[in-house]
Chains A and B, each alone.
Chain A
Amino acid sequence: GQSLEQPSEVTAVEGAIVQINCTYQTSGFYGLSWYQQHDGGAPTFLSYNALDGLEETGRFSSFLSRSDSYGYLLLQELQMKDSASYFCAARMDSSYKLIFGSGTRLLVRP
C-alpha cells in the first residue's frame, strides 16, 4: 500500500532548530511536499522535493533521499507562530493526488 509515517508530536524551544521526519512506502514515488496547518486553518504549502537533496526557503528547509524513502522538514530560529501541524505529502507517478501523512504537531515553548 501507500503510506507516510511521521512522529505525532514534537516539542522545541523558541529560537532552536527542529527536524520533522517523514518516511514513505509508496510505489511509483514522484516527489514529496510539506504543508503547515494551524489549528482551525487551511493547510499551506511550504516546499517540494522531486530530487534528492536539500531545498531551502528562508527559515525552512526540506530534504529528500529517494534511496532511503525518507525526507525531513527543518525549521530554524523557531518562533512561537511556528506552533502548528506539519504534513508531508507524496505525489505518485502518473497520479494527480497527494497522499498525506497523519501530521506532526509542533509545539514551540518560550
Chain B
Amino acid sequence: DAGVTQSPTHLIKTRGQQVTLRCSPKSGHDTVSWYQQALGQGPQFIFQYYEEEERQRGNFPDRFSGHQFPNYSSELNVNALLLGDSALYLCASSDDRSSYEQYFGPGTRLTVT
C-alpha cells in the first residue's frame, strides 16, 4: 500500500519565480492538506482540498494556490516567490471522516535565493 508521495524532493528557485509541487495521497484517502514547515517550527496549514474544491484555507496570501484532480492527487502552486517562502512543504492525506489522523508525505524542500 503506497503512502503519500511528493515530488520533487528538493527545489531551488529564484525570487519572483513560480513553483509547482505535487502530491499523491495514500490509497483510499480523498482529502489532501498542504502545510508549510519552517525550520524548528510546527507545520502551518495552507489549505485543504476535498472533492476537487478548496475546502478551507489558512493564513496564506493568494500567491499560494492549489488544485485537486479527480484521482485525488493535488498540486500546490506558489507565485512571485519570496525569500521567506523557503521551507519544507508537506502534503498530508486523510479520510474525510478522520481528519485528525493525517498521513504526511516526505515533503519538498524549497529554497528561494
Which residues of A approach B to under 8 Å, CB–CB? 30-31, 33, 35, 41-45, 48, 50, 87, 89, 91, 95-103
Q: List, in ascending order, chain B residues with CB within 8 A of A91's CB.
A: 99-100
Check A97 against B105 for contact (C-beta < 8 Å): no
Q: From B48, which residue of chain A is reached at the shortest CB distance?
A: A96
Q: List, in ascending order, chain B residues with CB within 8 A of A44's CB.
A: 104
Interface string of B19-63 (1 = CB under 8 A from A): 000000000000101010000111111001010000110100000
How many residues on the B side are at the interface (Cβ–Cβ under 8 A)?
Answer: 26
Given contacts A97-B45, A100-B42, A102-B42, contact A42 B90 (CB under 8 A): yes
14 A-B pairs whose Cβ atoms sit less than 8 Å apart in the complex: A30-B100, A33-B100, A33-B101, A43-B43, A44-B104, A48-B100, A96-B99, A97-B33, A97-B56, A98-B43, A98-B45, A98-B102, A101-B42, A102-B42
Q: From B104, which residue of chain A is reached at the shortest CB distance?
A: A42
Check A100 against B44 for contact (C-beta < 8 Å): yes
Q: List, in ascending order, chain B residues with CB within 8 A of A99's CB.
A: 45
Q: List, in ascending order, chain B residues with CB within 8 A of A95's CB.
A: 56
Which residues of B approach A to under 8 Å, CB–CB? 4, 31, 33, 35, 40-45, 48, 50, 55-56, 58, 90, 92, 99-107
Check A45 against B102 for contact (C-beta < 8 Å): yes
What CA separation (Å) do A54 and B103 show in the bound complex?
23
What CA separation (Å) do A103 and B92 show in the bound complex?
18
Q: List, in ascending order, chain A residues with CB within 8 A of B41's CB.
A: 102-103
Check B55 against A96 for contact (C-beta < 8 Å): yes
Q: List, in ascending order, chain B residues with CB within 8 A of A100's CB.
A: 35, 42-44
Least CB distance from A25 to B in Å reads 15
